[in-house]
Amino acid sequence: MNIASKCFPRRASFLPLFMLMLCFASPLYAGPVFDPGDVYGPRIEKLCMVIITNSDSQVLAAEKGELDIVSDITRPSDIDRLSRHPGLSMSLARGSHAFFLLLNNKSRPWNDPEVRHAAAEAIDRNNMVRTIYSGYCEPINGWLPPVSPWSMPESTRNIFDRASAKKRLSDRGYKWSLAGELIYPDGTAVGKMKLLSPLARVAPTTAELAEQIADSLRSVGFPVDVEPMDFSAMISKLDRKEYSLGVIAWSMGRNPDSLYSFYHSSMDIPGGYNMTSASDPALDKALLGLRYAKDRHEAEEFSARSQKLLSELMPSIPIYSRFSVSAVSKKWKNIFSNEKMTADNIWTLLMAEPADGKMRPLNMLLPEEPRNLNPFVASSAYSWQVLGLIYEGLIGTDPFTLDDMPSLAASWSVDTAGKVGNENTRLLFRLKNDLKWNDGTPITAADVKATFDFIRKNRIPRFFDSVKNIRSVNVTGSHELEVEMEGTSYWYLDNVGGLPCMPAKVLHAVKDWQNWNPLDPEEKSGPYGLIGSGPFMFDEYRPGEYIMMKRNGHYRMLEKKSVKTQ
């Protein structure tokens, strides 16, 4: 995949060298093709997730050998520095990352689409990407990352035009004070607006980008100042819509139906993903069509229509999509990466072994405190970096094709039931035999049903979008489950099959899902401990230092198999 050709022609002399340096820094990473179903692990006994929030300290720890895996390296100077270290291997991949400037569509002046367009035209994305990221990401003007097969061709078109931005504002009746700040058409001043951003010590490039966005907006009269804050506090404000502007990055996933979650008016709820409070009847209709598309053709039609309407409404402002870069110590073998994922992936964590054969913990960077390990309310990537190793869904993702592959489910089928004109989708799952939770108790179809029912009953915002259209869940055997859906949708299988499954006994013991603290030994709001089926289980948390994970001795993939390679 020619990554460099997608970036900036003006930096063509730099980019090929930069990309070659990363891609060829470690031939070791061109790993063998294997059958994911034959993989066994984890082969390590302990995974230490080391909490280091300062970027300089992260790089120093990697150089000193205190970190074995450093994920999501963003500063070009850090990438260059680590790529030159003889004990580290680098990997790069294009991903589904997309960075947005969020606008609260319910507050002035962002309740006017023309004003939102003016703000979008005021931002010089190309210059920001060059100056901050040295060209290893690409500016976007679309709602899906360019790597997505669903992305529109014009998603990378440069719309920077401050003269046009000022004309839009003038045509809407805005004027400017002597100080150059905007005045509403009714004659009142546009008051100071805060742009919420993570702290510079936690996300230095994001903080710098926020400052440059604020400068761009001020250049056409928007009186914007950056307000740095703790990441968890920022997410809470965005969730509650207590903001004017904010910056955030999303992992958009494989499918475009995520647009429904981000921009359909029904998802404008506390904790929901519609953080901009976007609301438009035509957009809702298109997104509904996308969500309930019966086949690929319909999905493509409504995906294109939804993206066109989003470009007209501009509820948020797309900024850039970047490449993922990670560094891994050469003291470990069986490290896996390819053009679709960097080395900090679940397959590496399953297969990694010390190169010298002496077992020790693998030290992986956790760049921020997880804060909350309640799986029902945890919303940060840092929390789910931990929780994602504890919980699994029915269906996984093939690391080579990104197609669906078995996880807890051994097999599944998708049928259409009902009479013509009143059809609905029926999902049938069959669990693998002899599955166990990490406490050693059996996993049954009743546990999966309890998970779906719990999410539906409590309308848990993080997961509710995936279950809101479930009509019924029926256990047809200890290992078989039937899920009847309302209507039909091309996406139902992935939405339902990807939900993290939990034991029924835990769900029944949760007294207050919103305030449940699984690490509270007094069990005020629910049971102590995190019981899942994933490859690792929680061992110890020392705030400010580390989270220690240990191998799940009951994991379904522990048994050694004959790994086939090509």
- Mind listing the pLDDT tens digit for each residue in 142-198? 999 887 889 998 888 999 999 999 999 999 999 999 999 999 999 999 999 999 999
Largest CA distance in the chain: 75
Neighbours of 558 (CB within 10 A): 15
Domain segments of the chain as ranges: 32-72+83-87+332-374+539-559, 97-252+314-322, 395-509
Neighbours of 563 (CB within 10 A): 14
Q: Which two tokens stand for residue 220?
A: 């056409």
Q: Are 128 and 209 in contact (CB under 8 A)?
A: yes
Q: Are 428 and 446 in contact (CB under 8 A)?
A: no
With 0.85 as the threshold, say if the pTM is over it. no
Mean of per-residue pLDDT scores for the chain: 90
**φ and ψ at 333, to 5 degrees?**
-115, 170
Kindly tell me the sign of the dihedral angle through the C-alpha atoms of 145, 148, 154, 158: positive
Q: Are 134 and 4 in contact (CB under 8 A)?
A: no
Q: Are 427 and 463 in contact (CB under 8 A)?
A: no
Give the integer Cα–Cα distance in Å for 444 and 136: 46
Percentage of the chain beyond pLDDT 90 is 75
Q: Which two tokens stand for residue 315?
A: 């509820």
Peptide bond into 500 cis (omega under 30): no
> What is the per-residue pLDDT across 172-188, written as a single tens digit (0 to 9) for each?
999 999 999 999 999 99
pLDDT of residue 511: 96
Look at residue 250 and give its three-state secondary structure.
strand
Q: Which residues of 503-535 are buried (b: 16+ CB within 10 A; e: fewer)?
A: bbebbeebeebeebbbeeeeeebbbeebbbbbb
> What is the per-residue pLDDT across 68-83, written as a single tens digit (0 to 9) for each?
999 989 888 999 999 9
Q: How confident is the model at residue 95 (pLDDT cuts 50, 70, 90)?
A: confident
pLDDT of residue 417: 86
Residue 564 CA, distance from chain mean position: 31
Question: Span 223-247, mean pLDDT?
Answer: 95
97-252+314-322 CATH, one of 3.40.605.10, 3.10.105.10, 3.40.50.1820, 2.130.10.30: 3.10.105.10
Residue ranges of alpha helices (H) inside 64-106 are 76-83
Give the integer Cα–Cα distance in Å for 164 and 117: 10
Residue with tokens 């205190």: 66
Q: In terms of DSSP bridges, do strands 470-477 and 480-485 run parallel, antiparallel, or are they unpaired? A: antiparallel
pLDDT of residue 31: 56
395-509 CATH, one of 1.10.10.60, 3.40.50.11540, 3.90.76.10, 3.90.228.20: 3.90.76.10
Kindly tell me the sign of the dihedral angle through the C-alpha atoms of 251, 78, 319, 381: positive
